[in-house]
């Protein structure tokens, strides 16, 4: 299975119509993950003068999508072909989600950023782009093994962030629910990928594309409703703290050990 540029176009219009649930699902995920990527890049470059900061952010956005393209060509065929790699990828997505909700995710590199030069900041941004592109590619390939569909999602994300990136980042910063939605979706995709591997291995019922799409939409809607309704929060929040958070911590601990090298690499970026 190849994810090269020659696989970019669909065979016919019927193929496009049949793939709409996957395209729509990937579009939602790509927008949210790209916006989160942009927030982190903006945070790293915040200490620079305005003109250098804007240049670093623009290069960072371009670098993020170049990194995804490179990873798509080099890594996606192996992710799609080997269940063991998809299994590790699924665990990585769950790790990212649990790290966020348990407060064990460093959102900024360590070190005195205020004294970084433009060159060092830019190198840190580009290295971070490569690291953050892994979850995008794993998430995309977990939803579709059709090359033109995955390529389209990356192109759509690049165009959307280029046109509406500042607006989207502003919304995410204003609404905590949107940021939470990103990592709820990441965790759900990790679990979904595990279920796909198990059902495929055991020859059980395959999850349909429409079911995945409406499941993702449901996650977004439920998260936004929860954020908007204080009454629901007062009822649900104690349940989340008492029952859900302990489970997330238990799940996160072995995953944090498994992906300790990734954490160490992330810390090295900031030195």
In this structure, the number of other CB atoms found within 10 A of the CB of residue 84 comes to 9
Q: Do the domain assignments include residue 128?
A: yes
pLDDT of residue 253: 92
Provide CB contacts within 8 A for 191, sequence distance 6+: 90, 94
Going by C-alpha positions, the residue among 94, 199, 210, 96 that lies closest to residue 143 is 210
Q: pTM higher than 0.75, yes or no?
A: yes
State the Cα–Cα distance between residues 251 and 258, nearest whole angstrom.
11
State the Cα–Cα distance between residues 265 and 270, nearest whole angstrom.
9
Structural domain span for residue 70: 16-269
In this structure, the number of other CB atoms found within 10 A of the CB of residue 113 comes to 18
**Once rounded to an integer, what is the mean pLDDT over residues 12-17?**
61
Average confidence score pLDDT of the chain: 79
The count of domains in the chain is 1
Residue 110: pLDDT above 50? Answer: no
pLDDT of residue 203: 56
pLDDT of residue 11: 59
pLDDT of residue 109: 46
Q: Is 115 exposed, middle or buried (0-12, 13-18, 19+ CB in 10 A)?
A: exposed
Stretch (H or E) spanning 250: helix 245-258
**Once rounded to an integer, what is the mean pLDDT over residues 76-86?**
81
Q: Do the domain assignments include residue 9?
A: no
Q: Which two structure tokens, joined as six digits, stand for 195? A: 């279920």
Q: Which residue has the higher pLDDT, 175 or 158?
A: 158
**Once rounded to an integer, what is the mean pLDDT over residues 95-100?**
90
**Once rounded to an integer, what is the mean pLDDT over residues 16-43?**
80
């Amino acid at each position: 299975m190849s994810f090269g540029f020659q696989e970019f176009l669909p065979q016919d219009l019927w193929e496009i119509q049949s793939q709409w649930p996957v395209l729509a699902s990937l579009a939602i995920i790509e927008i949210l993950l790209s916006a989160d990527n942009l927030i982190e890049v903006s945070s790293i470059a915040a200490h620079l003068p305005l003109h250098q900061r804007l240049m670093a952010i623009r290069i960072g956005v371009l670098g993020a999508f170049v990194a995804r393209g490179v990873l798509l060509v080099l890594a996606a065929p192996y992710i799609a072909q080997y269940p063991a790699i998809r299994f590790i990828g699924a665990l990585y997505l769950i790790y990212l989600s649990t790290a966020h909700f348990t407060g064990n995710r460093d959102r900024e590199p360590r070190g005195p950023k205020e004294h970084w030069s433009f060159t060092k900041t830019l190198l840190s941004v580009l290295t971070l782009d490569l690291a953050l592109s892994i979850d995008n590619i794993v998430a995309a390939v977990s939803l579709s093994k059709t090359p033109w569909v995955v390529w389209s999602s990356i192109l759509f994300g690049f165009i959307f962030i280029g046109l509406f990136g500042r607006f989207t980042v502003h919304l995410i910063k204003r609404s905590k629910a949107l940021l939470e939605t990103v990592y709820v979706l990441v965790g759900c995709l990790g679990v979904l990928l595990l279920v796909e591997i198990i059902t495929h291995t055991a020859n059980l019922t395959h999850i349909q594309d429409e079911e995945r799409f409406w499941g993702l939409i449901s996650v977004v809607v439920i998260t936004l409703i929860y954020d908007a309704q204080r009454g629901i929060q007062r009822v649900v929040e104690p349940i989340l703290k008492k029952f859900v958070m302990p489970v997330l911590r238990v799940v996160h601990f072995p995953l944090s050990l498994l992906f300790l090298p990734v954490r160490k690499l992330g810390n090295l970026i900031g030195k």
